[in-house]
Each structure stands twice: as structure tokens, then as C-alpha cells.
Amino acid sequence: MTLIVEDNPSFRLSLKEVLRTRFPEMAVAEAENSEEAFASIERLKPDLMFVDIRLPGLNGLELAKHVRKAHADLGIVILTNYDLPEFREVAYQYGVNYFFSKSSSSMEEILAAVSAILQKKGEPR
């Protein structure tokens, strides 16, 4: 199970379609803010979570920090337009597995990260 936490509905849909094409067995849920994300994590127990930094309410970095404390084995990928060195540093301090820029990272890089996280968890790629 993968959770996409993103406030842009068209980006959520695009990412969801790419994930389902590459990983047909993957179930994908969506949340548009941190509050929905927390509820979805508790209900769905995802293995992987994509998070944007800029979200309504708690930002994606703070969301990742809180989620990491409670779910040490959850794969967390930041996918954002805010590719600043200080955000990357904080993300990795908070236990994020990968940090990608929406504008400069290739979809193949992102999908390779997904494969790595799933492989580590022993799930089908």
C-alpha cells in the first residue's frame, strides 16, 4: 500500500497512474493534507508514502518527522517543488528515505527508489 500526500489533485492523479502502470499490484491511497495523512496511515498501514513539503496545515517535513517516530519501517519519499539544501538536510534528519525535486528528478529515478523500498520490504517489484 502506498499513500500519496499531495494537495494538487492533478499531480496526485498523475503519480498514482504512473505507480499503477509500473507496479500493477500496488494499492494507492491519497491524502491532500497532513490530517488526512495521519488518519490514512493509521487505517491503511502503508508501506510507502510520498509527501509534498507544502501542504495545508502541518507541512510535509513535520509530517514526515511525526510519522517516522511512530512508523520506523514506513518508506518516506519527499517529492516537492521546494528543492532547497536546507529542506533536504532536515528531511534526512527526520528519517526520510528519498528526496526528489518535481522539476528536476526523472520519473525513472523516482520509480527506482520505489523499487528499492519495496525490495527492502520483500514485496513484489
The domain that holds 22 is classified in CATH as 3.40.50.2300
Per residue in 31-86, pLDDT (tens digit) is 999 999 999 999 999 999 999 999 998 999 999 999 999 999 999 999 999 999 99
Helices 60-70 and 85-93 meet at what angle, rounded to 10?
Answer: 10
Cell of 106: 526523472
**pLDDT tier for residue 124 given thresholds of 50, 70 and 90:** very low
The span from the CA of 125 to the CA of 117, in Å, is 9
Contact between 60 and 68 under an 8 Å Cβ cutoff? The reply is: no
Total-model pTM: 0.94
The span from the CA of 67 to the CA of 45, in Å, is 11
Tally the domains of the chain: 1
Q: List the domain range (segments joined by +) for residue 98.
A: 2-121
Per residue in 83-121, pLDDT (tens digit) is 999 999 999 999 999 999 999 999 999 999 999 998 887
